[in-house]
A = this chain, B = another copy of it.
Amino acid sequence: MREEGTGVAEGEGDMPDMVEAIEAMFNARTVAVVGASDNEGKLGFHILRSLTRGEYGGSVFPINPGKREILGMRSYPSLMDVPDKVDLCVISLPARLVPGIVRSCAEKGVKGIVLITAGFREIEDESGGRLQDEVMHLAREAGMPVIGPNTFGIVNLHASLNASFTPQFSDIKRGSISLLSQSGGMSHLMGFLSMRDDFGFSKIVGLGNRCNTDFADMIPYLMRDPGTRVIAMYMEGIDKPRRLLEVARKFRGKKPLVAYKVGLSSLSDLASKSHTGSVAGRHELYEVGFRQAGILTVESSSGLLDAAKALSSSPLPTGYNVAVLSGQAGPGMVVCDICEREGLHITSFSGETQRRINSLLPPLTVRTNPVDMGPAWYDSKAIAGIVDSVLADTSINAVLICIMFASANEESIRGLSGVLKKWSRAKPIVCCFSSPPGIWEKEVAGLVQNETIINYATPERAAKALSALWRYVKIREQM
């Protein structure tokens, strides 16, 4: 598998076994927590709770020189006293003590480190930068990836491994989106949004100050990780933009890379290393760089999750021809605007499809694409027939369906479920089914869970998610 390493990091001091080491970390069978505590006021307490909240099957070793037992677990005075090998070491100790612990990790043969501790490069005092350099040097010599410092940790939901200070991350569903984030706060936000929107994650990684493990190091691992279908990235400053772009280009089209980049004023790195001085502004510069490297960009945290949701569970459209089927005219109009703006085409149906629609829908409204299915409200069979014929139309590459609940269409979702299941692997079916709390929720959740449809809270978000699928198709076509 070595040939799948980044192969782009020569001369930058990167480690050849990075991918294997990261893989070992994220699938650790043994985890030591240095700085484990039974004091609720310490992060080391919450880290232990995180590791024991889910169904993690590996061993957890609290390390604390003053304790023999913490939270019912045998505690060890030092890493060297652990009677087993240690795959992953989570460190939550004052910064000045960290280099000593990293030395112990090297000696113990630890595969990788999650360095929760803050107080390194980011603080006002320059001692922080010196400490970080020392840790980086030690870790590089030992070939150990260090996630952090100044991170909330890492989560691998497929291994029930929650090596973070937030136990609630264990409650997130398993999914196939892996999130790489430069901000713990934004990782928490996106984790909480997933809990409320009922979708899952594969890995959630707080990169923190990126001592020796940056986006470019994580991407090769996630590209070969079978639990990851989409890589979602929240970015602030990029230290080595050229390296990131090279890695992205190398894996272009293998799995989608979606980026939400903030910090418009800190784009100077990319700007200074670019030679296209004629481009209007920094934001445009990074947009261009990302597009050329095959990285999809989005404009918000919800846009990042919406695109990742679609890319993780939907088939890709084989062309840009979209059908819009709406239970009411307005939402259909809303999505048409966005489709048009995003280069999707609201095309004509085949003659046969149009005839079938005309036979099912009275001539009280628009029956061509976009179809207003309003007049078929009480007739869930007619709605299912329209949707079926449009999904069967080979000139249609993707279908957007927007139906807002009303008493008169209460049966429509139940009536649609068979048709949607029949076609769900053939082409993208992106929906906005909206209802008062308690209505349609079970039906829609069922369709979402078995990946029959993707559902969004608003028509706009549904249309933008579909456009993300189409943008990814174009990224693959340009290879």
Q: Contact check: which of B166, B188, B300, B405 meets A188 at CB < 8 Å?
A: B405
Once the chains bind, are A436 and B171 in contact (CB under 8 Å)?
Answer: yes
1/0 per residue A102-146: CB within 8 Å of B? 000000000000000011001111000000000000000000000
Once the chains bind, are B365 and A331 in contact (CB under 8 Å)?
Answer: no
- Closest B residue to A300 by beta carbon equals B460
Once the chains bind, are B188 and A406 in contact (CB under 8 Å)?
Answer: yes
A423 CB within 8 Å of chain B: no
Once the chains bind, are A189 and B407 in contact (CB under 8 Å)?
Answer: no
Q: Contact check: which of B404, B407, B457, B458 meets A165 at CB < 8 Å?
A: B407
Q: Which residues 412-445 in A have Cβ within 8 Å of B in the complex?
A: 432, 434-437, 439
Also in contact, A302 and B263, with CB within 8 A (given A49-B407, A234-B330, A331-B189):
no
User: Across the interface, which residues of B come within 8 angstroms of A56, CB to CB?
Assistant: none
User: Across the interface, which residues of B come within 8 angstroms of A263, CB to CB?
Assistant: 333, 337
Query: What is the CA–CA distance of A41 and B329 in the complex, to the nearest angstrom?
Result: 21
Task: Please list the residues of chain A having a beta carbon within 8 angstroms of any beta carbon in chain B.
Answer: 41, 43, 46, 49, 118-119, 122-125, 152, 165-168, 171, 181-186, 188-189, 191-193, 195-196, 234, 236, 262-265, 300-302, 326-334, 337, 340-341, 363-365, 374-375, 378, 402, 404-408, 432, 434-437, 439, 457-460
User: Across the interface, which residues of B come within 8 angstroms of A333, CB to CB?
Assistant: 183, 236, 262-263
User: Across the interface, which residues of B come within 8 angstroms of A402, CB to CB?
Assistant: 185
Query: What is the CA–CA distance of A404 and B184 in the complex, to the nearest angstrom?
Result: 9
The minimal Cβ–Cβ distance linking A306 to chain B, given in whole angstroms, is 11
Once the chains bind, are A123 and B365 in contact (CB under 8 Å)?
Answer: yes
Once the chains bind, are B330 and A436 in contact (CB under 8 Å)?
Answer: no
10 additional contacts (CB under 8 A) given A185-B327, A265-B340, A301-B458: A118-B364, A122-B365, A166-B405, A183-B329, A183-B330, A184-B404, A188-B434, A192-B435, A195-B436, A264-B337
Once the chains bind, are B330 and A184 in contact (CB under 8 Å)?
Answer: yes
User: Across the interface, which residues of B come within 8 angstroms of A375, CB to CB?
Assistant: 118
So how many copies of this chain end up in the complex?
A: 2
Once the chains bind, are A262 and B334 in contact (CB under 8 Å)?
Answer: yes
- Closest B residue to A169 by beta carbon equals B436
Once the chains bind, are B183 and A378 in contact (CB under 8 Å)?
Answer: no
Also in contact, A331 and B183, with CB within 8 A (given A262-B337, A302-B460):
yes
Query: What is the CA–CA distance of A219 and B329 in the complex, to the nearest angstrom?
Result: 24
Query: What is the CA–CA distance of A363 and B43 in the complex, to the nearest angstrom?
Result: 19
User: Across the interface, which residues of B come within 8 angstroms of A341, CB to CB?
Assistant: 264
- Closest B residue to A406 by beta carbon equals B166
Once the chains bind, are B365 and A189 in contact (CB under 8 Å)?
Answer: no
Once the chains bind, are B124 and A186 in contact (CB under 8 Å)?
Answer: no
User: Across the interface, which residues of B come within 8 angstroms of A302, CB to CB?
Assistant: 457-458, 460
User: Across the interface, which residues of B come within 8 angstroms of A189, CB to CB?
Assistant: 331, 404, 432, 434, 458-459
Once the chains bind, are B192 and A405 in contact (CB under 8 Å)?
Answer: yes
Q: Contact check: which of B264, B301, B405 meets A460 at CB < 8 Å?
A: B301
Once the chains bind, are B458 and A363 in contact (CB under 8 Å)?
Answer: no
Query: What is the CA–CA distance of A332 and B189 in the complex, to the nearest angstrom?
Result: 12
The minimal Cβ–Cβ distance linking A120 to chain B, given in whole angstroms, is 10
Once the chains bind, are A407 and B363 in contact (CB under 8 Å)?
Answer: no
Once the chains bind, are B437 and A406 in contact (CB under 8 Å)?
Answer: no
Query: What is the CA–CA distance of A328 and B404 in the complex, to the nearest angstrom?
Result: 37
Also in contact, A185 and B123, with CB within 8 A (given A263-B337, A301-B459):
no
